[in-house]
Amino acid sequence: MAKKLMKGSEAIGEAAIQAGCRYFFGYPITPQNEIPEYMSRRLPQEGGCFLQAESEVAAINMVYGAAGSGARVMTSSSSPGISLKQEGISYIACAEIPCVIVNMMRVGPGLGGIQPAQGDYFQATKGGGHGDYHLVVLAPSTVQEAANMVMEGFDIADTYRIPVMVLGDGMIGQIMEPVEFVPPKKREVPPKTWAATGWSDKSRPRAILNSLYIEPEEMKVVMDRLLERYELIKKNETRVEEFMTEDAEYIIAAYGTTARIAKSAITKARAQGIKVGLIRPITVWPFPYEAYSKAADRVKGFLDIELSTGQMVEDVRLAVAGKKPVEFYGKLGGFVPSADEILEQIKKMAEVK
Amino acid sequence: MAVVFEKTKMLTDVPFHYCPGCTHGIAHRLLAEAIEELGKEDEAIGVAPVGCAVFAYNYFNCDMMEAAHGRAPAVATGIKRVHPDKLVFTYQGDGDLASIGTAEIIHAAARGEKITTIFINNAIYGMTGGQMAPTTLEGQVTTTSPYGRKKEHCGLPIKMSEIIATLDGAAYVERVSMHDVPNIIKAKNAIKKALQYQIAGKGFSFIELLSTCPTNWGMTPADALEWLKDNMIPYYPLGVKKEVEL
């Protein structure tokens, strides 16, 4: 398929359709409205259903119902809306129902603003809703990667019966880039024999999609199963990009839009003789701890850059385990740092005058 | 020996966990029988609420999903949009439907979602131990209205059937009562009719069942039925509130 110039949000919508998603439930919130708008236009053309819910709370529960019925389903929102979806996400995680949830992060807390930010890292990677669960969280740094992640996200979700979150930011949603829709590497996706489809096929057990287990013995079975699955996902799905790290003396830790700008800064720094590289988590859960801990044995220090007051930096520090200094630079308020600004921070870390 | 009565196949053999005298068990049976009589056993998909009927997925012998508190109509919407040819129902209590889930029920009805909601109104939160519900009557004593519900403090009970009936998407809305046999027979007919409206694709159908909670009302089952008749029916008048042509 030829490359097409598309806005990030629209590419995400098209990627979902290409992946076989035929149901979308959402609620308007800036800066991701182009996703539901695109789906409202495209899904009827594909014989699917777009429905604007009465709230994010309802939208995620419609996802629960539709995905529990065996369909590929997506919803999208931005930070305050994702907070409202957390109850449903927790239920979906416990009921082991696959779906894809897109968060185009905006600056916060509270109603915050509509500019890009990365303040939902904790929420996305450490739970978000109540209880003891994880989502697979994919963090795109380009429009192409966002499209790829949505397409593969459905396969990951179906493989492990887990909700997958694509954690972008306002920037990824709003920029336009050339994109092509390439199916991901084929996986053995298990059939959805657990789905509620009407019990006409009596050769399967009656479908009960549930997150209530009053007996501790039964709850434990579910939680043991989830834990086992999370360990399998850590083993199989952890992804990271290393950029110019072979000879690097300093490592930048960044994801999404920030990582992309950091690459430009690294190229500039290299031109000035500073040996710096980037370790970019592609999956922020599972987090690529090993890439950072290995680097800690050979580099002089780390600089974590985020559009937040410092969230992913905690995971970087956990990986580096005190072996080397980990500095932090946070760009707040909805501003995005320029490459030169990051270059200044690199120079400061490398003590280049 | 000739078989003169058989339990509906739409109910499993799992014993109900409900308190003695509670009307949930009868309501379950009415809905299950109605589904079976319509020949839809293999096509039904139900959504259980949070509340006393939270374990409904153990009892209804069809594919079931358990929803978060109040969200059953949204979950049912998702199911029905994927499976428009299936018979989709929610079974919800008054805390679930008339309090935390008001947005979901109103909008499912407004959209004319082709699902059927069975609404159990027993004027109290049962599962959590007898707190005040939006449907609790004026003056009624509960664990969170120990001096009786006062209008000036928290208003008067909400009449869901009348509210739903104002919405264009609602095709059939009826309030029935569980306090005696003639009314239980009427309730069964109402449920069956509501399901027929869904099968005919007419829109949203809603049956409110006035029910008892002897445990949390602090009454014998027989007294509870009397109390329902004498106190609930005057405030929650029975009958069809909305009926489009079938």
pLDDT of A298-342, one tens digit each? 999 999 999 999 999 999 999 999 999 999 999 999 999 999 999
Query: Could you tell me which chain B residue has the CA closest to the CA of A198?
Result: B43
Q: Do A197 and B107 touch (CB under 8 A)?
A: no
* Phi-psi domain of B111 (left: phi exceeds 0; alpha: psi -120 through 50; beta: other): alpha
A242 backbone dihedrals φ, ψ, rounded to 5°? -110, 130
Q: In order of start, what are the domains of chain A with their CATH numbers? A: 4-194+209-237 (3.40.50.970), 241-350 (3.40.50.920)
Q: Do A57 and B71 touch (CB under 8 A)?
A: yes
Q: Which CATH superfamily is domain B24-243 in?
A: Thiamin diphosphate (ThDP)-binding fold, Pyr/PP domains (3.40.50.970)
Per-domain residue ranges of chain B: 24-243
Nearest by CB to residue A199, choosing from B63, B68, B76, is: B63
Q: In Å, how far is B225's CA from the nearest CA of chain A?
A: 30
Nearest by CB to residue A197, choosing from B61, B75, B83, is: B83
- List A residues 186-205 in contact with B (Cβ-Cβ < 8 A): 196-200
Q: Distance (Å, rounded) from C-alpha B203 to C-alpha B113?
A: 6
Tokens read off for A236: 């199989």
Q: What is the pLDDT of residue B57?
A: 98
Question: Which residues from B are below 8 Å from A98, CB to CB?
Answer: none
- Smallest Cα–Cα separation from A196: which of B97, B76, B131? B76
Give me the total of CB pairs closer than 8 Å, taking one residue from chain A and one from chain B.
129
| Amino acid of residue A6 | M
Q: Do A199 and B42 touch (CB under 8 A)?
A: yes
* B164 close to B242: Cβ distance less than 8 angstroms: yes
Residues of chain A with pLDDT under 70: 1, 353
Q: In Å, how far is B174's CA from the nearest CA of chain A?
A: 25
Query: Could you tell me which chain B residue has the CA closest to the CA of A97?
Result: B65
Residue A113 CB burial class (10 angstroms; 0-12, 13-18, ≥19): middle
In tens digits, chain B (246 residues) has pLDDT values of 899 999 999 999 999 999 999 999 999 999 999 999 999 999 999 999 999 999 999 999 999 999 999 999 999 999 999 999 999 999 999 999 999 999 999 999 999 999 999 999 999 999 999 999 999 999 999 999 999 999 999 999 999 999 999 999 999 999 999 999 999 999 999 999 999 999 999 999 999 999 999 999 999 999 999 999 999 999 999 999 999 999
Question: Which residues from A are below 8 Å from B61, CB to CB?
Answer: 199, 206
Question: Which residues from A are below 8 Å from B76, CB to CB?
Answer: 65
Q: Distance (Å, rounded) from C-alpha B242 to C-alpha B233?
A: 18
Strands of chain B, DSSP E: 44-48, 63-66, 87-93, 116-121, 170-177, 204-210, 239-243
Question: Which residues from B are below 8 Å from A49, CB to CB?
Answer: 81-82
pTM for this entry? 0.97
* B218 close to B138: Cβ distance less than 8 angstroms: no
The length of chain B, given as a count of residues:
246
Q: What is the pLDDT of residue A68?
A: 98
Q: Do A198 and B68 touch (CB under 8 A)?
A: no
Q: Distance (Å, rounded) from C-alpha A36 to C-alpha A76?
A: 7
Q: What is the pLDDT of residue A1?
A: 65
Q: Do B66 and A210 touch (CB under 8 A)?
A: yes
Tokens read off for A171: 């920037």
Q: Residue B234: in which H helix or E strand, if any?
A: helix B233-235
| Chain B interface residues (partner A, CB cutoff 8 A) | 41-45, 47, 54-55, 57-58, 61-68, 71, 74-83, 86-87, 103-104, 106-107
Mutate to test the interface with A, among B82, B97, B127, B199 (most CBs of A within 10 A): B82
Alpha-helix runs per DSSP H in chain A: 8-18, 34-42, 56-68, 79-95, 121-125, 143-160, 170-174, 216-237, 256-271, 289-296, 312-320, 339-350
Chain B contact present for A219, CB below 8 A? no
Q: Distance (Å, rounded) from C-alpha B236 to C-alpha A166?
A: 48
Q: What is the pLDDT of residue A127?
A: 86
* Phi-psi domain of A161 (left: phi exceeds 0; alpha: psi -120 through 50; beta: other): left
Question: Which residues from A are below 8 Å from B83, CB to CB?
Answer: 69, 197-198
Q: What is the pLDDT of residue A353?
A: 54
